[in-house]
A and B are shown apart, each in its own frame.
Chain A
Amino acid sequence: MRRVRFFFLLAMAGLLLFAAGCGPKRPVLYPNDHLDSVGMQVAQADIDDCIMKAEAAGATARDSGESAKNVATSAGVAAAAGAVFGAIMGNDVLRTAGASAGAAAAGSTVYEVAKSGDPASIHKNFVDKCLREKGYEVIGWK
């Protein structure tokens, strides 16, 4: 009986460690004047606040499961098409800021697209900006 309890506790501890290791990443703050003045407890509350604002604005941290895969595939079609159509039209259609026309750019833009649509990076950028506005300096996510 004691052995069963031991393994149960061991399993629970393992699950806890696993959950902690695989939990969502959070911003790491540089110890600047603002962080020193408010303290880590307030800073963590501000991080939570920014994360909630990002989620509320639709900049979610991640999509989940199979649906995320489908969205990525489907979204990739429109994104790649957008890169092509944008290159086809070049600067003819719009008054643009100093960019030179050139269809050769289309290929590289398709790859750029795949990165820019990453929900995690949008979420991070949103939270980083929110924290900067509060006076913090984000040096990374961990």
Chain B
Amino acid sequence: MKFIKILLPMLLLFLAVGCATKSPVVEARNDNRVIFTVAETGQSVVVEIGSDYSYDSFVKRSFKGTDFRGYLFRAKDESAILVSKMPRVEFEDLIGFKLDAPANSVKSYPPKTIFQSHYCKLVRTYVTTLDMDVVSAVKLQTPTTDEALCSDWTTLDEVMIERFDMLADFDKSADENIRMIVK
């Protein structure tokens, strides 16, 4: 009996500590709206995806030892938007450097478009830190289905030269269809 009296509080204590160190950010999706909320403070980041896109699936991947999960939205133009969150520490490990935003802060970084020649893919990314997590929304699209043409491109500049209008539309559409609101 005495043993249980000691063990039970210990178990509760370990549980509390375990839950505290785990990500305190909860997430919920409602149609084209994904809300990430810090349970303790109520602070949240709302990601709103435009009506050009419809929800497709909840994707799970394992990448360099990190379990990745995200909400995938698709549009008729064959572009896709991925909305996800991950612990800040894992995010920093993956990108290879520390974020300048103070810990436990909310900071939105300016979006940026890159070209991944390896996958022939344009990627525009929106990042906001939320407490000890990072919320991201990523738009992905191929600039061409012409394999030979794509193999000639290695940088965004080269894509820009050949597909300036397409690139401008890609960015514009992404900005119109991805809204990250800090509340």
Contacts of A121 in B (CB 8 A): 157
The one of B114, B142, B146, B158 in contact with A83, judged by C-beta atoms closer than 8 angstroms, is B114
Count of chain A to chain B residue pairs whose CB atoms are closer than 8 Å in the complex: 161
Are A86 and B112 interface neighbours, CB within 8 A?
no
The one of A78, A83, A97 in contact with B109, judged by C-beta atoms closer than 8 angstroms, is A78
Are B95 and A97 interface neighbours, CB within 8 A?
no
A108 to chain B, nearest CB (A): 8
Are B125 and A78 interface neighbours, CB within 8 A?
yes
Q: How many residues of B are counted as interface, with CB atoms below 8 angstroms from the partner's CB atoms? A: 56
Interface residues of chain A, those whose CB is within 8 Å of chain B, are 71, 73-103, 105-107, 109-110, 112-113, 115-117, 121-122, 125-126, 128-129
20 pairs across A/B with beta carbons < 8 Å?
Answer: A76-B112, A78-B109, A78-B112, A78-B127, A80-B96, A82-B113, A82-B125, A89-B61, A93-B72, A93-B80, A94-B80, A94-B121, A96-B142, A98-B147, A98-B150, A106-B94, A112-B155, A115-B155, A117-B156, A122-B157
Interface residues of chain B, those whose CB is within 8 Å of chain A, are 59, 61, 63-64, 68, 72, 78-80, 82, 84, 91, 94-97, 99-100, 109-121, 123-127, 134, 136, 138, 140-142, 144-147, 149-151, 154-158, 160-161
